[in-house]
Amino acid sequence: MWQTDLIVFNYLDIMKNNFNVFVASSAFSLLGIEIYHITLPLLALSLNLDPVQISWCVFAFYCPVIFIKIISSPFIEKSNKINVLKCSECGRILCLALFILLLTLSRDASFLWIMSVSLAYGVFTVFTEVAEPVVINGLIQGHASTSALSTYEIRTRAVQLVAPALCGYLISVNVFFPYSVNLLFSLLAVLLLFLIRIDVPQTAGPVHSSMGADIQQAFRWLRDNKLFTVIVALTALNNFLHPILYLTVIWGLKAQNTAFEITGLVLSGLGAGGLIGSFISRKVINILSLRQLVLFVNLARVLVFFGFLVFTDPVSIFVLFVFKAIMGGIWNVSYNVFTLQEMPLKLAARISAVSGTLVKISAGVGSLVAGYSLGFMGAELTLVILAVLTLFMLSGSFVYKKEYGKYHEQKAL
């Protein structure tokens, strides 16, 4: 009996070590991705591109999710996920090296190069986004999921705290410097992936299943789980609003002749607030029911977005970003806990791909809308529309009351 217990404890210890190594690797990987996409609008501004061109550059990064994420998920689901992560990271390393080379050789074609490489970089990022949730699901094995996911979310928010300030400083030194540092982070991420000693098992799937059947199965599951779909929809709408707000703030700070270093520090409010939100998320999740949490977060979002209409100085914007991100940190941990608990393991990659695609498409469309909105309506009217949309999100929090009740009843069993 004691030998069996020893084997179990050794296995759990190995899985915990693997999870910690994975979180470290994922942190470097995410830091690289954040640096890339945060630096994009700053780089575009330094190259004197207009708002519409900037929005297309950001959209190119999000664009692959529309075509690649759902299509790739069945293949990734049946592959070794750790190897998928390694290949994705190596692909991004090649993109970064090519990006630096092309922009150094041909500044005049900067818009074209930024669009092209961002598209390729986005493809490899999609592979990471599909594989990571399945790796996490396999590593935590359902044990202490809230604690583990809270740690994972703290990683996310710590990166989001460091990345904007780091980008603001690095790009003030040289427009290509952020991408050179990004290369280093990607190399560290790959090296750490090789330290994970146990491969996450492949998800067995029927040999005869087709890609279309796989995706239809995921959509059927979403159709039958209305509360899951509502939570994904609210997350998608928030992700639509975020890049519009983000680019509007950057454009407004540029109009005030704010230095890149200050802009970076202002944007770091997202990371600071997110880190706080991640730390307190476990307590909030334990105190509030899912329905109460959804209402609380969306009400707070309304107040914060209306705050951006009133306050325009860098310090106030930083504070508003902190409060916005606190809500985001709480929401993301609860969203990850909820989705990982609800998704069946055999469909995890497909459901994650479909829901993640909806969330990412909304962010991509938001980034594209931002440029045209700023170009044709201006920053002030854009912020008014965003504030009105948060009211719509709040109203959407009241639907499917019975489904919330069923969820809490099942959780109590």
Taking the domains of the chain in order of start, what are their residue ranges?
A: 2-201+211-412
Buried b vs exposed e over 264-289: b needs ≥16 C-beta within 10 Å?
bbbbbbbbbbbbbbbbebbebbeebe
Residues 6 or more apart in contact with residue 33 via CB below 8 angstroms: 92, 125, 128
Q: Over the chain (413 residues), what is each successive 10-residue block's mean pLDDT?
A: 43 61 89 88 82 87 76 73 89 92 76 88 89 77 63 74 78 81 93 76 50 73 81 89 91 86 83 81 84 89 94 93 89 80 74 79 88 89 92 80 72 63
Give the pLDDT confidence score for residue 248 in this predicted structure: 92
Give the pLDDT confidence score for residue 108 in this predicted structure: 67
**Which among 117, 74, 111 has a CA at the least distance from the CA of 95?**
117
Give the pLDDT confidence score for residue 208 in this predicted structure: 45
**Which among 16, 29, 79, 35 has a CA at the least distance from the CA of 193?**
29
Domain made up of 2-201+211-412: CATH architecture: Up-down Bundle (1.20)
Give the pLDDT confidence score for residue 6 in this predicted structure: 40
Give the pLDDT confidence score for residue 4 in this predicted structure: 44
Give the pLDDT confidence score for residue 306 in this predicted structure: 95
Give the pLDDT confidence score for residue 133 in this predicted structure: 77
Structure tokens at 249: 């703030």
Give the pLDDT confidence score for residue 182 in this predicted structure: 92
